[in-house]
Amino acid sequence: MAGISRRNLIAGAGAGLALAGCRGKEDAHGLTAEKLDKILWEMKGAGDLWGHSAATDQPCPLALNGKFEPRFLCVQYLKFDGISLIARRGYVDGAGQDENALLGKVPGAIADLRNNVDTNFVATSGGKILRDLDFIGFGSQQIFAIYLDNDPNLVKIEDDQAKSEFVVRFAPYSGIDPHSTVNPPKKNNAFCKLRVTSAAGLIGGLILLNFWNTDAKGEPIDRSGIDTTKKETWHRYSMNIHLQMAVPQPDPAIKKWVPLVLDPDTGNMGGVP
């Protein structure tokens, strides 16, 4: 949480009632409902932007003539099962297919990951289905789909589209090795077009992102100096995925949610796909 003191948080929380139904108007603390939204999301861990917002349509600057031509579809499957998190990931070959054709393969890929079927995924050095959420690598332009396979009454993605830009944020530190000063995470200039939606026939929430494989100048990421075995050479980002989990209450009619943040490292790590 950046730039917000405990005193300001208390003041912001107290201003909430005064702001109800008054979007755009300031209260006695100089807060609008939009500013309060930002404060509340910072309380949940969604800090200031590190790079551009993932909700933008394309990288800025951009030196690729505006072309997004995804080579693969990467699908990350997540399911909270008691105190455990099931994480499975697979890559679908998109050769000769456009963005819409690849998006059409998302429901089938989710079903395969749910059922632990690897037939339709390409082989990687870790197998056809990768069972982790630590390092998510992209060696080319790709569509990235994150599917949460839980009842949204128990675990959910923010479903207010006006607030969806807070669902995925990038941070200047890594959740994997937060104390490392070697090759700190880059500012985001590659993940774009964030949208929160649903998958046909499935109850869970779906996050979609376009990975442009671009550096801070908008150029394709240079792979020549990247060694898949050396983290210090990766062009990596620290991604924070913000979810909400229901807390059991004595009265089942009352819903109370607590923030839940997943923080994989991601980006171009030199591998294929």
Residue 112: strand pairing partners: none
Asked whether residue 217 falls in the same domain as residue 91, the answer is: yes
What pLDDT, on a 0 to 100 scale, did the predictor assign at position 183? 87
Asked whether residue 66 falls in the same domain as residue 182, the answer is: yes
Model confidence pLDDT, tens digit, residues 51-93? 999 999 999 899 888 899 999 999 999 999 988 999 999 999 9
Asked whether 71 and 219 are in contact (CB, 8 A), the reply is no
- Does a structural domain hold residue 36? yes
Q: Tell me the average pLDDT across 9-27.
A: 35
CA distance 8 to 2: 12
Asked whether residue 19 falls in the same domain as residue 76, the answer is: no
**Kind and range of the H or E element at 15?**
helix 6-19
Asked whether residue 105 falls in the same domain as residue 156, the answer is: yes
Model confidence pLDDT, tens digit, residues 153-186? 899 998 676 678 889 999 998 877 777 778 899 9
Q: Tell me the average pLDDT across 209-233.
A: 93
The tally of domains found in the chain comes to: 2
Residue that has been written with the tokens 């995804």 in this structure: 70
| Residue range of the domain that includes 34 | 1-43
CA distance 214 to 105: 24
Half-sphere exposure of 91 (CA within 13 A, CB side): 24
182-208 core/surface letters (b: 16 or more CB in 10 A; e: else): eeebbebbbbbbbebeebeebebbbbb
Asked whether 85 and 79 are in contact (CB, 8 A), the reply is yes
Asked whether residue 85 falls in the same domain as residue 182, the answer is: yes
- Does a structural domain hold residue 273? no
Asked whether 122 and 72 are in contact (CB, 8 A), the reply is yes
Asked whether residue 7 falls in the same domain as residue 32, the answer is: yes
Asked whether residue 258 falls in the same domain as residue 145, the answer is: yes
Asked whether residue 113 falls in the same domain as residue 28, the answer is: no
Asked whether residue 164 falls in the same domain as residue 194, the answer is: yes
Asked whether residue 160 falls in the same domain as residue 228, the answer is: yes
Asked whether residue 196 falls in the same domain as residue 94, the answer is: yes
Residue 72: strand pairing partners: 93, 142
Distances from the Cα of 32 to the Cα of 28, 35, 92, 159, 170, angstroms: 10, 5, 44, 21, 25
Last residue of a domain, one of 43, 61, 77: 43
Query: For a pLDDT cut of 90, what percent of the chain falls above it?
Result: 58
Which residues lie below 8 Å from residue 90, measured CB to CB, with a gap of 6+?
74, 75, 109, 112, 113, 118, 120, 121, 128, 129, 130
Q: Which amino acid is at 240?
A: N
Rg of the chain in Å (alpha carbons): 19
**Kind and range of the H or E element at 99?**
helix 99-103
pTM for this one? 0.83
| pLDDT-based confidence at residue 47 (cuts at 50, 70, 90) | low
Asked whether residue 153 falls in the same domain as residue 171, the answer is: yes
Q: 24: which 2 tokens?
A: 């755009």
